[in-house]
Structure 1
Amino acid sequence: MSKKRPVFSPEFKREAAELVTEKGYSILEACEARGVSESALRRWVDQLTKELSGQTPEGAKALTAEHQEIQRLKAKIKDLEEDNEILKKATALFATHDKERSKLSRR
């Protein structure tokens, strides 16, 4: 039976990483204070540092509110682009269908 990994909220991750980046805790001290593994906390610190320098994470949930909003908006744009493609295909299909109907009605 495999061990289930704990799931932490972006807020928890940000707060844990801030112990290191803002409050001066060592990685090990912050791990003990939050009860998380060293590798996880190192990833969160690295991610928070990147986000604070303006880089939006790919493939991970953002830790800062600004980057969470950026991710939400990117997802919305992707959905709208997919909807647009569907509408373009439907328009082309209807146009073809109308063209065929008008040819048949002229006969």
Structure 2
Amino acid sequence: MHGHKVPEWGQLAATSAMTRSLMLLLHARGYGSTWRTGPGVGSQVRRLLTLKDEEECLGSLFTGTANSDATRRRRPLSAVSDRRGWLSHGVKFAPDASTPAM
């Protein structure tokens, strides 16, 4: 991704936006999808796609149809009471208020 007219951050942003749009389209058509990154996108994927050393694979998009008989597992909700600020803007949220306190 180096040496192109479009900077690397722009290529990453475009790839992310395209992947999310594709996932939304799949969902609207009744399919499910999962985007996987990290260790699973390793040497096996590189060999399968015959990627060159200078090429990268950002992730894998798995698609399919949902099993209507399967039970859905919800993740437990995590407490967010200790996450009251926006670090980059210095904005703090009051614990019981719906608007930020400056």
TM-score (normalised: structure 1):
0.25
TM-score (normalised: structure 2):
0.26
Between structures 1 and 2, the one with greater strand share: 2
Looking at CA atoms only, which structure, 1 or 2, has the larger radius of gyration?
1
